[in-house]
């Protein structure tokens, strides 16, 4: 009985606080205290959502952005994981690549937008490249760090059992660093979303960033805010999916 109270109370409080917030917002807008172009009422945003869901636009924009994030992020991770493990295990290789990583890392993904538009035009490839450039260097650093956190004793044990250096990377360093790599990639996924929304705000024909920018052009503040809410919800949903996936990948941590 006591336990149940403990687990359900915070959720109830959260629901109450959210409802209260929306209620006050609604009342303030209805009372004419705020210009609806400046800040639309929640009910207006909801009505816009219903309309855009009905004509399929909201889903199309959300899927477009999600697809771009996923493709760019997958490519970036698939290159960064082996590359990072290799860099983390070889001092020579690290010394060769270090200056380039150090130069790339501080560059915000947005600074790549002009160049990517010149090279690739307003295409899907350009969107993927922005996500890639924004998340690759930081992912790489996470993975190199994760690689270095492996207990050297495990590497010794593996070598003693006949593992080659390549075997060690595949059988010891990769699985040993995986929990850290995954938590790093979770942060990177958030960064990938920042990248894609920025890219879509600058130049796109679909996607949540485009929807927000387009809404602003027509003074549809409700569309703008709906786009923002949609980004939040999408990232939250992906986070939950990612967590499920994480547990599947790391059965020994259960």
Partner 1 sequence: MDTLNGQSKICVNNVTKCFSSKQGEVTALKDLSLDIRDGEFLVVVGASGCGKTTLINMIAGFDTPSSGKVLLDGKPVTGITPECGMIFQQYALFPWKTVQENVEFGLKMKRIPKSERKAIAAKFIDLVALNGFEKSYPHHLSGGMKQRVSIARALANDPEVMLLDEPFAALDAMTRQVLQEQLVRIYEKHKKTIIFITHSIDEALLLSSRIAVMTARPGRIAQEIVNDLPHPRNADVQLSDNYMTLKRKIWDSVQAEVLKSMEVETG
Of the candidate residues 130, 172, 225, 238, the single one contacting partner 1 (CB under 8 A):
172
Select the span of 36-44, 128-136, 162-170, 196-204 touching partner 1 (CB under 8 A): 162-170
- Looking at the Cβ atoms of 117 and 154, the one nearer to partner 1 is 154
Interface residue with partner 1, options 51, 67, 159, 216 (CB under 8 A): 159
Backbone region of residue 164 per phi and psi (left: phi > 0; alpha: psi in -120 to 50; beta: other values): beta
DSSP per position, 209-254? HHHHHHHHHTT-HHHHHHHHHHHHHHHHHHHHHHHHHHHHH-GGG-
Least CB distance from residue 124 to partner 1, whole Å? 37
Question: Residue 251 Cβ, how far from partner 1 at the closest point, in Å?
Answer: 8
* Residue 153 found at the interface with partner 1 (CB under 8 A): yes
Q: Is 183 in the site for partner 1 (CB under 8 A)?
A: no
Judge whether 140 and 186 are in contact, CB under 8 Å. Answer: no
What's the DSSP call for residue 204? -
Quick one: which segment of 104-112, 113-121, 172-180, 198-206 binds partner 1 (CB under 8 A)? 172-180
CB 202 within 8 A of CB 190: no
219: left (phi over 0), alpha (psi -120 to 50) or beta: left
Least distance in Å: CB of 163 to partner 1?
5
Q: Using CB under 8 A, list all residues that contact partner 1.
A: 151, 153-154, 156-164, 167, 171-172, 175-176, 178, 250-252
């Amino acid at each position: 009985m006591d336990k149940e109270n403990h687990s359900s109370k915070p959720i109830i409080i959260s629901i109450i606080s959210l409802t209260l917030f929306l209620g006050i917002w609604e009342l303030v807008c209805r009372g004419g205290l705020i210009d609806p172009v400046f800040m639309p009422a929640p009910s207006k945003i909801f009505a816009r959502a219903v309309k855009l869901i009905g004509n399929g636009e909201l889903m199309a924009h959300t899927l477009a952005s999600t697809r771009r994030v996923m493709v760019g992020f997958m490519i970036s991770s698939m290159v960064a994981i082996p590359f990072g493990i290799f860099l983390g295990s070889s001092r020579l290789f690290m010394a060769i690549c270090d200056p380039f990583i150090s130069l790339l890392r501080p560059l915000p993904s947005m600074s790549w937008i002009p160049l990517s538009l010149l090279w690739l035009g307003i295409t899907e490839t350009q969107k993927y490249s922005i996500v890639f450039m924004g998340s690759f260097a930081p992912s790489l650093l996470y993975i190199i760090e994760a690689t270095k956190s492996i207990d050297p004793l495990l590497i010794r044990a593996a070598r003693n059992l006949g593992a080659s250096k390549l075997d060690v990377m595949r059988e010891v360093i990769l699985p040993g660093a995986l929990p850290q790599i995954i938590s790093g990639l979770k942060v990177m996924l958030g960064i990938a979303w920042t990248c894609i929304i920025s890219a879509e705000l600058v130049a796109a024909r679909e996607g949540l960033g485009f929807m927000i920018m387009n809404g602003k052009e027509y003074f549809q503040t409700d569309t703008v805010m709906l786009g923002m809410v949609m980004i939040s919800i999408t990232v939250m949903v992906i986070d939950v999916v990612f967590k499920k996936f994480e547990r599947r990948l790391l059965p020994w941590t259960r």
